């Protein structure tokens, strides 16, 4: 008898006491594993996450957390063949498994890489620049993100047992929030296997990730204002979660991503024979057949110009004729079964409802060819295209057949296309296939308030396009209204979404201490050693060098103009410069000012400073006139050691002033500095 799936709770694997319910192979109905019907020990999982996982994660910097995730992901990638084998039993073809397994692991790698590039090597994220709150500069605001002291409970859908887990776990982990993963029963055996391999790496801090393969009863009961619930699934279940007392009154942060009736709009320019027509049909068929259409992002509504409806239907019919449906282990099979017989039954019912206002024009629920599989035991369906000519019909905008099903709707003009799309009441994704810039722009801006993601597909980007149905870790995933109102991915936005944003008000010294970034007005330190002589280990935030004064002569300006070729009239022509409304006379080049400033602050001998790799936010505030005496102050502002190099980045705040002490230019200088003295 197949074993009952185990939970990983409180630091070890826990075997359920009950016999569980059987989980069947989607294609053969053989039993694969069993799933406990009794509630898991949620209080134990939460306590372990709070007492062990949270503190352990919060003790690491963002870069350290990202580094661990990267190693875990590389280990999973090495052993992925094992996952593919088990994935077949969920009904997934090789292509489907790649989306789930490689897609999931790739998502972790993307987060890990972006975190190290875009977040500080610290435990606090600064949000935006300091906000001056008083004229004197002694009272300043700074928004910071800190880790919540809670738990992220992640309730996943059955369709992507690997990706679904990893896309939620990665940003929570980087945010410092321990995860409790609750997979959907139907495909939990694959989630359990991948989770087991993650734990076996020994890399993840104890309590930082736990797995609950058991009844979800009571999962939300013990959550509070520091906790999050991220849910992917039906709009109906999402509404039930919103009604839970922990959410209504307990302050739990709830994020939901629900199925939506995503649309794809074909442009009127894209008739048969155009590259866009072929792209449209190919994409529609792909979205109908990948994962047998069991994707929250699949195209449910094909919005097509009136005059092109017939052409689209015929082209889809033709393309689908070559789509082999059958056992997912067969390499020739393009579309496998649905995840379960229950899912097949639900899709059949939904198609029945759609047929109340639409005609089934491609595919036959009762008769279709099947390769190497038993239509009675496996959850097979054919791809089905419906056509609805009744513009008042509600069903195509409301009934989601979560399978290989799409409905063609006709429109005239971009306004009607946008209006039809909006009748879905909010979607995860919409696409526009058109090479007409004006049409596409109008539709994109019309769809935007209703969509989390919008793809414009055309001949220019088709080769690199990842397609309508693929959420990407760097882009928002989630959508308004019916799509759940969630926002789960989106690069570092997803990390910050797991953290608390607070405004901190205080003196510059206080804000420097809180954020580890020097704030204008905070103490500057000059211990007699030039800061360019200090390694990362020696350098402190606030270390300062002051250089100057150097007088800028008319000869300097003339010479710089001649030498660089920058003979702009404000630097060279007295009369014209005097007429300039902002200058009223000859001014020094901005590039001359910063070049001279570098000459005033640099320490020339070899040392720990390796290179100046950039400048940020340079602003010229006061024109530099002939005979102005320039001084410069350079303060170590932020120090970011790189995990994988023997140097790190130092951001310096530079201010150039004139003889009246007016700021002439402010900017950040970026250098690479060795970690230890060379």
Which residues in the 246-275 window bind a second copy by CB under 8 A? 247-249, 251, 253
Interface with a second copy (CB under 8 A), residue from 28, 75, 113, 500: 500
Of the candidates 505, 530, 664, 651, the residue with the CA atom closest to the CA atom of residue 593:
664
- Binding-residue pattern over the window 400 to 429 for a second copy, x denoting contact by CB under 8 A: ----------------------x--xx---
Q: Is 663 in the site for a second copy (CB under 8 A)?
A: no
Distance in Å, CB of 80 to a second copy, minimum: 23
Among 352, 413, 584, 614, which residue sits at the site for a second copy (rule: CB under 8 A)? 614
What SS3 class is residue 319? Answer: helix
Tell me: does residue 514 bind a second copy (CB under 8 A): yes
Nearest to 405 by CA among 431, 430, 421, 385: 385
From residue 279, give the alpha-carbon distance in Å to each of 267, 276, 403, 475.
12, 5, 21, 22
Q: Report how far residue 28's alpha carbon sits from residue 9's, in angstroms, rounded to the nearest whole number.
A: 32
Order of all β-strands in the sheet with 544-551: 544-551, 629-641, 647-657, 663-674
Q: Of the listed pieces 192-200, 355-363, 469-477, 533-541, which binds a second copy according to CB under 8 A?
A: 469-477
Q: From the CB of 111, what's the least distance to a second copy, in Å?
A: 13
Among residues 83 and 280, whose Cβ is nearest to a second copy?
280
- The DSSP letter of residue 186 is G
Rounded to whole angstroms, the Cα distance separating 362 from 302 reads 14
Where are the alpha helices (H) located in 98-207, listed in sequence order?
103-118, 163-175, 188-200
Name the burial class of residue 17, with classes exposed (0-12), middle (13-18) and buried (19+) by CB atoms within 10 angstroms of its CB: exposed
Q: How far is the CB of 591 from a second copy (least distance, A)?
A: 4
Q: Which is nearer to a second copy, 41 or 269 (CB)?
A: 269
CA distances from 414 to 169, 387, 406, 440, 455 (A): 39, 20, 21, 9, 16
Strands 384-388 and 125-132: what pairing? unpaired
Nearest to 188 by CA among 220, 162, 154, 217: 162
Least Å from the CB of residue 577 to a second copy:
9
307 binds a second copy (CB under 8 A): no
Given 6, 167, 276, 296, the catalytic residue:
296
Residue number with CB closer to a second copy (2 or 614) = 614
Residue 553 interacting with a second copy (CB under 8 A): no
Asked if residue 567 binds a second copy (CB under 8 A), the reply is yes
Active-site annotation holder among 167, 257, 400, 488: 257
Q: Is 573 in the site for a second copy (CB under 8 A)?
A: yes
Least distance in angstroms from the C-beta of 235 to a second copy: 8
Among residues 124, 125, 279, 653, the one that binds a second copy under rule CB under 8 A: 124
Residue 141 in contact with a second copy, rule: CB under 8 A: yes
Is residue 644 part of the contact set for a second copy (CB under 8 A)? no
Residues 319-358 contacting a second copy, CB under 8 A: none
Q: Does 560 bind a second copy (CB under 8 A)?
A: yes
Among 133, 529, 537, 677, binds a second copy (CB under 8 A): 133
Considering the rule CB under 8 A, would residue 456 count as an interface residue with a second copy?
Answer: yes
Contact status: 610 vs a second copy (CB under 8 A): yes
Position among 3, 59, 345, 437 found at the interface with a second copy (CB under 8 A): 437
Give the shortest CB-476-to-a second copy separation in angstroms: 4
The C-alpha angle with vertex 202 and arms to 199 and 205, in degrees rounded to 5, equals: 85
Residue 676 sits in the site that holds a second copy (CB under 8 A): no
Residue 47 near a second copy by CB under 8 A: no
Q: Is the Cβ of residue 19 or residue 645 nearer to a second copy in the bound state? A: 645
CA–CA gap between residue 626 and residue 554 (Å, rounded): 5
Which of 94, 350, 504, 629 binds a second copy (CB under 8 A)? It is: 504
Q: What is the DSSP letter of 485?
A: S
36 vs 256, which CB is nearer to a second copy?
A: 256
CA 544 – CA 634 distance, rounded (Å): 6
- Region of 96-104, 276-284, 575-583, 651-659 interacting with a second copy (CB under 8 A): 575-583
Cβ neighbors of 61 (< 8 A, separation 6 or more) are: 120, 121, 122, 123
Looking at the Cβ atoms of 249 and 367, the one nearer to a second copy is: 249
d(CA 627, CA 585): 13
| Active-site residue, 388 included | no
Q: Rule CB under 8 A: is residue 449 a binding residue for a second copy?
A: yes
Q: Tell me the C-alpha distance between 393 and 381, whole Å.
A: 25
Of 81, 563, 644, 660, the one binding a second copy by CB under 8 A: 563
In angstroms, rounded to a whole number, what is the distance separating the alpha carbons of residues 419 and 447? Answer: 9
Does 487 engage in binding with a second copy (CB under 8 A)? yes
Q: Which residue, 66 or 429, is less far from a second copy as judged by CB?
A: 429
199: phi > 0 → left, psi -120 to 50 → alpha, else beta; which? alpha
Rounded to whole angstroms, the Cα distance separating 238 from 226 reads 20
CA pseudo-torsion sign 466, 471, 475, 478: positive
The DSSP code sequence of 283-295 is: HHHHHHHGGGG--
Q: Counting contacts by CB under 8 A, is residue 506 touching a second copy?
A: yes
Q: Does residue 576 belong to the site contacting a second copy (CB under 8 A)? A: yes
Active site residue 263: no
364 in helix, strand or coil? Answer: coil
Q: Per CB under 8 A, which of residues 1..40 are in contact with a second copy?
A: none
The stretch among 144-152, 189-197, 406-414, 538-546 that binds a second copy (CB under 8 A) is 144-152
Binding test (CB under 8 A) with a second copy, winner from 77, 98, 235, 360: 235
When asked if residue 590 is in the footprint of a second copy (CB under 8 A), the reply is: yes
In the complex, the smallest distance separating the C-beta of residue 410 from a second copy, rounded to whole angstroms, is 23
Contact (CB, 8 A) for 156 and 129: no
CB of 552 to a second copy, least distance (A): 11
Nearer to a second copy, 378 or 426 (CB): 426
Mention every residue, 6+ apart, whose C-beta is less than 8 A from residue 160: 99, 100, 103, 104, 291
Q: Which is nearer to a second copy, 89 or 295 (CB)?
A: 295
Q: Is 134 in the site for a second copy (CB under 8 A)?
A: yes
Is residue 566 a contact residue for a second copy (CB under 8 A)?
yes
Looking at the Cβ atoms of 338 and 653, the one nearer to a second copy is: 653
Check residue 136 and report its DSSP letter. Answer: T
CB atoms within 10 A of CB 475: 16
Which residues have a catalytic role annotated?
Answer: 257, 296
């Amino acid at each position: 008898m197949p074993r009952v799936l185990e939970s990983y709770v409180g630091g070890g694997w826990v075997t359920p006491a009950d016999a569980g319910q059987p989980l069947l192979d989607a294609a053969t109905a053989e039993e694969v594993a069993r799933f406990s019907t009794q509630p898991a020990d949620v209080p134990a999982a939460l306590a372990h996450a709070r007492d062990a996982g949270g503190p352990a994660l919060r003790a690491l910097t963002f870069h350290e957390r990202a580094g661990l995730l990267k190693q875990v992901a590389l280990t999973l990638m090495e052993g992925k063949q094992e996952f593919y084998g088990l994935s077949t039993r969920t009904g997934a073809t090789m292509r489907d498994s790649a989306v789930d397994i490689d897609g999931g692991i790739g998502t972790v790698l993307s987060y890990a890489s972006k975190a190290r590039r875009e977040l500080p090597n610290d435990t606090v994220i600064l949000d935006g620049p300091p906000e001056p709150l008083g004229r004197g500069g002694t009272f300043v605001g700074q928004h910071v993100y800190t880790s919540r002291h809670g738990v992220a409970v992640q309730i996943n859908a059955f369709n992507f047992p690997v990706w679904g887990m990893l896309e939620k776990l990665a940003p929570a982990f980087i945010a410092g929030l321990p995860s409790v993963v609750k997979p959907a029963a139907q495909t939990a055996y694959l989630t359990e296997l991948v989770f087991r391999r993650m734990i076996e790496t020994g890399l993840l801090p104890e309590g930082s990730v736990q797995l609950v393969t058991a009844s979800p009863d009571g999962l939300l009961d013990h959550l509070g204002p520091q906790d999050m619930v991220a849910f992917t699934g039906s709009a109906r279940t999402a509404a039930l979660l919103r009604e839970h007392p922990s959410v209504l009154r307990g302050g739990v942060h709830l994020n939901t991503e629900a199925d939506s009736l995503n649309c794809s709009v074909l442009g009127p320019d894209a008739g048969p024979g155009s590259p866009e027509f072929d792209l449209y049909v190919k994409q529609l068929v792909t979205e109908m057949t990948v994962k047998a259409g069991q994707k929250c992002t699949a195209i449910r509504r094909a919005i097509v110009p009136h005059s092109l409806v017939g052409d689209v239907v015929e082209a889809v019919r033709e393309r689908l004729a070559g789509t082999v449906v059958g056992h997912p282990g067969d390499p020739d099979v393009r579309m496998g079964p649905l995840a379960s017989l229950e899912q097949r039954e639900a899709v059949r019912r939904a198609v029945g409802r759609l047929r109340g206002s639409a005609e089934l024009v491609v595919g036959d629920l009762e008769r279709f060819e099947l390769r190497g599989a038993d239509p009675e035991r496996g959850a097979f369906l054919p791809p089905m295209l419906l056509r609805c000519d009744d513009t008042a019909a509600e069903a195509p905008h409301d009934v989601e057949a979560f399978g290989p099903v799409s409905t063609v709707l006709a429109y005239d003009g971009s306004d009607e296309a946008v209006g039809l799309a909006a009748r879905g009441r909010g979607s995860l994704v919409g696409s526009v296939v058109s090479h007409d810039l004006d049409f596409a722009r109008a539709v994109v801006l019309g769809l935007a308030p209703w969509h989390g993601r919008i793809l414009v597909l055309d001949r220019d980007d088709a080769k690199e396009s990842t397609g309508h149905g693929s959420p990407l870790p760097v882009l928002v995933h989630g959508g308004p209204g019916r799509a759940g109102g969630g926002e789960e991915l989106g690069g570092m936005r997803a990390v910050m979404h797991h953290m608390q944003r607070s405004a901190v008000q205080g003196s510059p010294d206080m804000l420097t201490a809180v954020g580890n970034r020097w704030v204008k007005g905070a103490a500057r330190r000059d211990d007699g050693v030039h800061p360019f002589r200090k390694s990362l280990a020696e350098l402190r935030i606030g270390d300062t060098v002051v250089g100057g004064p150097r007088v800028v002569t008319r000869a300097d300006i003339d010479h710089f103009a001649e030498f660089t070729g920058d003979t702009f009239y404000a630097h060279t022509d007295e009369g014209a410069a005097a007429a300039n409304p902002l200058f009223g006379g000859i001014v020094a080049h901005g590039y001359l000012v910063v070049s001279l400033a570098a000459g005033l602050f640099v320490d020339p001998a070899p040392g720990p400073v390796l290179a100046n790799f950039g400048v940020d936010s340079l602003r010229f505030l006061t024109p530099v006139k002939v005979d102005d005496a320039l001084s410069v102050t350079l303060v170590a502002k932020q120090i970011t050691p790189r995990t994988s190099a023997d140097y790190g980045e130092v951001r310096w705040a530079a201010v150039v002033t004139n003889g009246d002490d007016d700021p002439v230019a402010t900017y950040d200088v970026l250098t690479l500095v060795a970690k230890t003295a060379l």
